[in-house]
Amino acid sequence: MKSEQGFSLIELLIGMAVTLMCLAVISSVIAKATSVNNRETRKADALVSAQAALNVMSREIGNSGFGIYMDSTTQTPSNGIVAADSSATQIHIRSNFDNVGDYSVPPGSTVLDTNLPGEDITYFFDDATKSIVRYDAHPASGNSATSVVVNRVSDVTFQYFNYTTSASTVTETTTPTSATARIRITVLVNLDPVVGQPDNQSVSFTSDVTLRNSNYMLRQY
């Protein structure tokens, strides 16, 4: 009868140590893959939110100035931006889709009446709710409305590109003028912390919007 020999204690310990090392490596790889997946998922969600906000703002800002003139005599097109109420963090635009006539208040105003829904719009970032907010002023109906365009964002900024009669002369400013013909909108989203990934990560999405009704653009196309 042959004697049967098993593993020695040392061999068992060595085998267990190798197994534990393999499990540690596999766990580390899985944890890293999960961390990367969580990071990319949150980036994708942030980009979807930013893109949705940009689509809404770009459409309305692009139509800024429709039906509005700088004066009734020359009927020089206006870009529709209310410069006194616009900055790097907020933009106030007007369009006059129904062309209902001269705006009588305040006296000397160079815009037409924009008191219908969708004709007098302000976009700004509300830090308290981390949202981009759209304010639609239509005093004719008395039903001015405030709505959230997108939430869970960290900031929105506006840059203004002013054109002269020469296409080569373009100035970039943080406040608009009557010569503003292009606007750059940037939406910033700070990502939530992910275990295993660096903190303070963020993504931004930028869109350049041409004001098709501005005086300069109408003379070019």
Burial of 183 (0-12, 13-18, 19+ CB in 10 A): buried
End-to-end CA distance of the chain: 102
Confidence grade of residue 150 (pLDDT, cut at 50, 70, 90): confident
pLDDT at 3 over 60: no
Evaluate if residue 129 carries a pLDDT over 70: yes
Q: Is the pLDDT of residue 153 over 50?
A: yes
Paired residues of 171 in beta bridges: 162
- pLDDT of 167 > 70? The answer is no
User: pLDDT at position 105, please?
Assistant: 43
Note the pLDDT of residue 118: 84
Residue ranges per structural domain of the chain: 38-220
Radius of gyration from C-alpha coordinates of the chain: 29
- Predicted pLDDT of residue 112: 58
Residues 7-23 have a mean pLDDT of 76
Q: Do residues 184 and 206 touch, judged by C-beta distance below 8 A? A: yes
pLDDT digits (tens, 9 = 90+) for 31-83: 676 666 666 666 666 677 778 888 889 989 998 988 887 766 666 778 889 99
**182-220: pLDDT as tens digits:** 999 998 888 766 566 666 777 788 889 999 888 776 655
68-122, pLDDT tens digit by residue?
877 666 667 788 899 999 999 999 998 887 766 554 444 445 555 677 788 889 9
Confidence (pTM): 0.73
pLDDT (0 to 100) of residue 221: 44
Residue of 135 and 11 predicted with greater confidence: 135
The H or E element containing residue 132 is strand 131-136
Q: Kindly give, in sequence order, each residue whose CB lies less than 8 Å from that of residue 110, ignoring residues fewer than 6 positions away.
A: 69, 70, 71, 78
The Cα–Cα gap between 221 and 213 comes to 10
Query: Tell me, what's the pLDDT at 90?
Result: 94
User: Whole-number mean pLDDT of the chain?
Assistant: 78
